[in-house]
Copies of this chain bind each other. A is one copy, B any other.
């Protein structure tokens, strides 16, 4: 039965491969849609491949729009109606050969006059969850994790994400940072075991694989600090994990973090300068390389956000101390749900108020109460208000984007707080500091996307691990 089916398929497959070979003899140049749209190989015989975004049938002509993910724009294909085929539907995959010409229409500069159309993969538009020419909401498309890359909004997001990754890596490279692949699996439980995922596999003898309990990393900081004892500038950029049981628009169980450590720091300014430069340089790069994709978000997802972003890019980021922040909050006429006295942690409502108060531009809050910060934050040894040299970067719409601190390098001070963590400091310890930036929050911030699940390819959160 199976063999018979295979034989039939084998025959039909040979027919397909024959027609492919037939194309090959003419050896048209294979072009990406983005290349065709820029008029490469004008007048020449070319081949494009992609998915149909629209079909319009006229008496003598057939018009298709084909997209291959290389650009938000699709390429218009014009074909004689003799090439029409009922399988040419919204969503189907096609290969088109023909000649690239200037278009008589104003909508697009170039179009492809097809002489061959081959449906490589069919798509029944009745079953396909996205409808032609309909703008689906981000909430709706989120339900189809294996298909949402077919929508304009999400394919734009993925191109932006890829380009932002390049931009961040370029910034660090140009500034002499070495990229370190810090591990995902770690035996450290760094900052509180409550939010840790544990990694398990029992071998045949029923023992733990690593002999010790192992967890998914919540931060590459300790591993970067190891490296900052030999490299003055290091960074890592990869997945990080929190088992936070939250359904919020702000949290994921798996998210990407950029973390950097700088050795021989003298003050928090050594860090805030890197954070601001990183943000501005990466954003400039994304705006320059993904203009159309970014526009889609600024025009259709969050109208008005472009103005906010432009102001952020033009202005110097503000710096206020935690104590100044508390002053601002206390003098405010706004009612807050959480207390605002000195010593309290800043909540999202506070962060949002502070950003607004400062003119809707990013603001660094520095020198937090010593007791609010982890053991490794450098003691400012001030009084009566005892603070640590820690800093958060708050941005419009998102709140906390980065968090960092000078690290305590003084062995005696550390010893008083923590006995482990010491061997690192024994051999040529230096003043240093570092920070982390949430990559998804960065994307939310520049694009104005409200829900963090819409800026990551495959979101993981409590009760959801699709695919």
Contact = CB atoms under 8 A, between A and B. Distances in A.
A161 interface: yes
Given A198-B200, A200-B198, A184 B128 contact: no
A68 B233 CA distance: 9
Contacts of A253: 185, 209-210
A362 interface: no
B430 A181 contact: no
A69 B230 contact: yes
Interface stretch (A162-170, A279-287, A347-355, A399-407): A162-170
Nearest to A230: B149
A176 B253 CA distance: 30
A288 interface: no
A396 to B, nearest CB: 25
B180 A147 contact: no
Interface in A243-280: 243, 245, 253-254, 256, 263-264, 266
Interface in A417-452: 423-431
A51 interface: yes
Chain A interface size band reads 35 or more
Given A147-B427, A162-B180, A231 B155 contact: yes
Nearest to A175: B32
Given A176-B70, A186-B467, A410-B13, A149 B231 contact: yes
A139 interface: no
B227 A457 contact: yes
A2 B416 contact: yes
Interface string A91-119: 11101000000000000000000000000
Quickly give the copy total for this chain: 2
Contacts of A155: 230-231
A42 to B, nearest CB: 19
Contacts of A169: 166, 169
Contacts of A456: 181
Nearest to A203: B245
Contacts of A120: 264, 429-431
A58 interface: no
A222 interface: yes
B264 A158 contact: no
Nearest to A2: B416
A223 B457 contact: yes
Interface in A172-203: 173, 176, 178-188, 196-201, 203
A200 B203 contact: no
Nearest to A254: B185
Given A147-B229, A264-B120, A428-B51, A158 B183 contact: no
A453 interface: no
Nearest to A47: B264
Contacts of A147: 226, 229, 427
B69 A6 contact: no
Nearest to A5: B412
Nearest to A90: B428
Nearest to A426: B127
A211 interface: yes
B457 A230 contact: no
Interface of A: 2, 5-6, 9-10, 13, 20, 24, 32, 34, 49-52, 67-70, 91-93, 95, 120-124, 127-128, 145-147, 149-150, 155, 158-159, 161-162, 165-166, 169, 173, 176, 178-188, 196-201, 203, 209-212, 214, 216, 222-223, 226-227, 229-232, 238-239, 241, 243, 245, 253-254, 256, 263-264, 266, 379, 381, 409-410, 412-413, 416, 423-431, 456-458, 460, 462-467
